[in-house]
Structure 1
Amino acid sequence: MGKNHTGAAILSLGSIPFITTLGNSTLIPILPEMKEALNLNNIQVSLTITLFSIAAAICIPVAGYLSDRFSRKAIIVPSLVIFGAGGLLAGIGAAFFSNAFIWLLIGRIIQGIGAAGTFPIAMALIGDLFKGSEQSKMLGIYEASNELGKVLSPIIGAAFALITWYFVFFTFPVISFLCAILVFFLIKERRNRQTPPPFNQYVKGLFLVFKQEGRWLFTVYLAGGTCLLTIFGILFYLSDKLETEDHITGVWKGLILAIPLLVLVTTSYRTGSIIGKNFVKMKRLAVVGFILMTASYLSLVWIEPLIWFIFALCFSSIGAGLVLPCVNTMIAGAVGKEKRGFITSLYGSVRYIGVALGPLLFGWLMDWSRTGLFLSVACFTFLVAMLVLLLLHVNGMDGRDKRTKITYNYY
């Protein structure tokens, strides 16, 4: 792909994770206002995030199969339109309907369905368009764009809340329709000259992949899902802490929430630019990342002052920034083009499940014990580190990128 095409790809594909991240992250600062305006309890207000993520997780495998069967753009562009339409319905329901909460949830479910055909399918498209170190660099930019959305989302959500809490929903159709236009006109997708295999043959091929490579695929899926679970869980915790303990609200709250996410963005971009296709380097960085996350969450057991809390939390952001680009590159290069959409889509489902469970799990643990919360999360991230260390190793693989060679030989 030439330089001009690469620039167009960065602009259009990089906008996709940025936009879909806004779908959840912008709501975190406005949840207290939503709760008060609609007279909701904690469980009800968390459904606005959970139902979005569950709908996406359920529909992502279907979108992945369809993208393998037809084309990536044929799924991404309509999905962006659906995403925007769901946001518009949620905004209209919140602003004008008496039973606003029901319409809000319906709109969020529709948004989740639309999101299913965006982030993971675009990752598969990057795998189609780029190869070698250029692919890992693009995936690093892709992850950085995703995390940049998380950085700006709390600020945007808090700023829009100054107008009215539901104003943010009306921004979704504008930005998603613009993104759909960019993808439609700027991405030149390569035509697959081979006839797509029948469905039963396609399924048999997937079973073959998981039979022979299921152990390491499970491990990288778990690694990516764990990062998203802890990111959204700690954002939920920090948002509550800033309001209830430190009495910080509004844009200042959004700015503070953005600090650890900015660290995550910077680390993700840098990691993606240096890992290339070196499996051993990816594995080592992923283990180091989870160890940093473990140390960070363990230290939060004893750290309460806000400035030191944020400082310690940044180490978990560095850890996640080391892990996610490595996982993305492993997933995108795991199989041939014919089944890449489905494999990356399953990974997308795991990420959305992590997003859905994060606020619920952290909220439940917060009610139980602050010490228990951080000890439990630290133990879990350490367990994942050990799994990455032990399971991402097949038949004495010595780091000469045999993983990619083995999996591509299936097709």
Structure 2
Amino acid sequence: MKKERLLIFYLGLLPFVMVLGNSMLIPILPDIRRSLNLSGFETGLILSMFSIPAAIIIPFIGFLSDRWGRRLMILLSLLFVITGSFICGLSGLIPSNRISFSVLLTGRIIQGIGAAGTTPLAMALVGDIFTDNRSKVLGVLEVYNGAGKLVAPVLGALAALKSWYLAFYLFPVTAAISYWGIKKHVPKAKSGKDFFSINEYTIKILKTFNKKRNFLFPLYLSGGVSMFVMFGILYYLSFLIEETYQIDGFFKGVTYMFPLGAMTIVSYWTGKRLKTCREELNGLLFLGNILMVGCFIALILFHSFSFLLFFITLAFGSMGFILPSINMAVTSSVPDSERGFVVSLYGTFRFLGVALGPVVFENWMDEDERIFIYPALILLASFFYFVFSNRREYFSLIQSLRPGQR
């Protein structure tokens, strides 16, 4: 039991490392922008150049993990994270702003390549190792994900009190601990190349997607849209609370604890709930999407900071229903030999959402109404697509909610 808890801890550090990649930088983006004299688009690239390489690399990492083993690919990924982090940290010591920015982006790309093998492979490994309590462990991973988002802005804000580039030296410490734990506690397993050829693997994957595309792609899209909105809003808040409400430093980092804390708590509850009541998965997804759409419609109407923080907190809490449910559905949808690729493709959608969020929201930030109208419409379209793809399940759900129905 103790060994299992240690394994879950070290696996949980993988999404924690991934989350540090962007969430820790959110509150210090204005500082980096001023220090390096960047435009709004260039500032958004600091986040996107981490997420875009990860989104591109993830499917290949998933394929390689199915062929060569999760453990090996996770360890290699963490080495990339450590290397990229040191390069990013060194960029702050270069006197030329343009060269410093180029080195920073180079380090972010290397970090992103490493991040491709963190959360998706952690989810795939959980699917391989755990059976009876798989949903609970996946919920715990999402809690680590949320806890990283919760703690990271505070850590970033504290580091920025001295200098913005010091934040990057926190990555190698966490990554090194995870590396040691994974190497010690995850046993070596036979690789997929011992069981099937590349041609056999490709045929199996194509058959899987042909059979389950109507089930998987609505889940992929819902997860990607959730991350797009999450990081777009976090980017927007970073500038709003500093420039409009004059909240900076440690208290700026604390402001993020309300929405991200709500997501972490709800994620933990959802993971525990799905362990005993897996049949509630569709209902929790439905509830989370309805709340998300409702919150952004409300944000179009109410603009004060108190209302803004309340509805964003509620929206992030609703993601706590959505993300663990999708994790469970995707991870359990395929056998072990195909899980790495299928889960990694889901990770691609999530990383694309993270990459596009800051850049797109930067273009919407000029008008208060647009910053909430467009996300509301995107969420609504994603929700309708998801419900339409699962119309039989939701028709049965709605029928069961009518008075007099049992």
TM-score, scaled to structure 2: 0.93
The CA deviation at 1:277 is 7.4
- Tell me, in whole angstroms, the C-alpha distance in 2 between the residues paired with 1:40 and 1:194: 47
Give secondary structure in 1 for the equivalent of 2:301. coil
User: What are the residue-to-residue correspondences of 1:174-185 with 2, within 5 Å?
Assistant: 174-185=173-184
Contact 1:239 1:257 in 2 (8 A): no
Partner of 1:381: 379
Find 1:49's aligned residue among 47, 50, 57: 47
User: What are the residue-to-residue correspondences of 1:288-327 with 2, within 5 Å?
Assistant: 288-327=287-326
Partner of 1:336: 335
Find 2:60's aligned residue among 50, 62, 65: 62
Cα distance change, pair 395–168 in 1 and its aligned pair in 2 (3 A): closer
1:14 matched to 2:2? The reply is no
- Tell me, in whole angstroms, the C-alpha distance in 1 between the residues paired with 2:123 and 2:107: 25
Cα distance change, pair 72–393 in 1 and its aligned pair in 2 (3 A): farther
Partner of 1:96: 94
- Tell me, in whole angstroms, the C-alpha distance in 2 between the residues paired with 1:262 and 1:75: 31
Contact 1:68 1:341 in 2 (8 A): yes
Partner of 1:286: 285
Q: Which moved more, 1:280-289 or 1:142-151?
A: 280-289
> RMSD of aligned C-alpha atoms?
1.9
Cα distance change, pair 200–315 in 1 and its aligned pair in 2 (3 A): same
Partner of 1:406: none
- Tell me, in whole angstroms, the C-alpha distance in 2 between the residues paired with 1:63 and 1:141: 23
Alpha-carbon displacement from aligned partner over 1:252-310 (angstroms, at most 9, x marks no partner):
11100221000000000000101137554111111110110111111111222222221
Alpha-carbon displacement from aligned partner over 1:2-28 (angstroms, at most 9, x marks no partner):
x12321122110111111100111111
- Tell me, in whole angstroms, the C-alpha distance in 1 between the residues paired with 2:394 and 2:188: 37
Contact 1:297 1:378 in 2 (8 A): yes
Gaps of at least 5 residues in structure 2 are: 398-406
- Tell me, in whole angstroms, the C-alpha distance in 2 between the residues paired with 1:361 and 1:96: 29
- Tell me, in whole angstroms, the C-alpha distance in 1 between the residues paired with 2:162 and 2:393: 59
Partner of 2:205: 206
Contact 2:63 2:340 in 1 (8 A): yes
1:135 matched to 2:100? The reply is no
User: What are the residue-to-residue correspondences of 1:231-270 with 2, within 5 Å?
Assistant: 231-270=230-269
Contact 1:94 1:103 in 2 (8 A): no
Contact 1:289 1:323 in 2 (8 A): yes
Cα distance change, pair 299–212 in 1 and its aligned pair in 2 (3 A): same
Letter aligned with residue 247 of structure 1: Q
- Tell me, in whole angstroms, the C-alpha distance in 2 between the residues paired with 1:140 and 1:203: 30
Cα distance change, pair 35–395 in 1 and its aligned pair in 2 (3 A): closer
Contact 1:286 1:388 in 2 (8 A): no
- Tell me, in whole angstroms, the C-alpha distance in 2 between the residues paired with 1:309 and 1:303: 7
- Tell me, in whole angstroms, the C-alpha distance in 1 between the residues paired with 2:148 and 2:284: 23
Q: Which moved more, 1:195-204 or 1:66-75?
A: 195-204
Query: Identity percentage over the alignment?
Result: 35
Partner of 2:168: 169
Gaps of at least 5 residues in structure 1 are: 400-411
1:195 matched to 2:212? The reply is no
Cα distance change, pair 32–344 in 1 and its aligned pair in 2 (3 A): same
Alpha-carbon displacement from aligned partner over 1:45-79 (angstroms, at most 9, x marks no partner):
11111011000011111110111001111000111
Cα distance change, pair 193–72 in 1 and its aligned pair in 2 (3 A): closer
- Tell me, in whole angstroms, the C-alpha distance in 1 between the residues paired with 2:31 and 2:393: 54
Contact 1:287 1:386 in 2 (8 A): no
Letter aligned with residue 374 of structure 2: S
Give secondary structure in 1 for the equivalent of 2:150. helix
Aligned residues: 395
Contact 2:41 2:362 in 1 (8 A): no
Partner of 1:27: 25
TM-score, scaled to structure 1: 0.92
Letter aligned with residue 107 of structure 1: G
Partner of 1:118: 118
The CA deviation at 1:193 is 8.8
Contact 1:287 1:388 in 2 (8 A): no
Give secondary structure in 1 for the equivalent of 2:164. coil
Alpha-carbon displacement from aligned partner over 1:332-373 (angstroms, at most 9, x marks no partner):
111110010000110111110000011112121222x32122
The CA deviation at 1:80 is 0.6
- Tell me, in whole angstroms, the C-alpha distance in 1 between the residues paired with 2:193 and 2:202: 17
Cα distance change, pair 222–278 in 1 and its aligned pair in 2 (3 A): farther
Q: Which moved more, 1:376-385 or 1:357-366?
A: 376-385
- Tell me, in whole angstroms, the C-alpha distance in 2 between the residues paired with 1:395 and 1:291: 16
User: What are the residue-to-residue correspondences of 1:392-403 with 2, within 5 Å?
Assistant: 392=390
Partner of 1:364: 363
- Tell me, in whole angstroms, the C-alpha distance in 2 between the residues paired with 1:328 and 1:395: 18
- Tell me, in whole angstroms, the C-alpha distance in 2 between the residues paired with 1:304 and 1:349: 33
- Tell me, in whole angstroms, the C-alpha distance in 1 between the residues paired with 2:276 and 2:93: 49
Alpha-carbon displacement from aligned partner over 1:75-125 (angstroms, at most 9, x marks no partner):
001111110110101111221363111111100000001111111011100
- Tell me, in whole angstroms, the C-alpha distance in 2 between the residues paired with 1:245 and 1:96: 31
Cα distance change, pair 48–194 in 1 and its aligned pair in 2 (3 A): closer
Give secondary structure in 1 for the equivalent of 2:256. helix
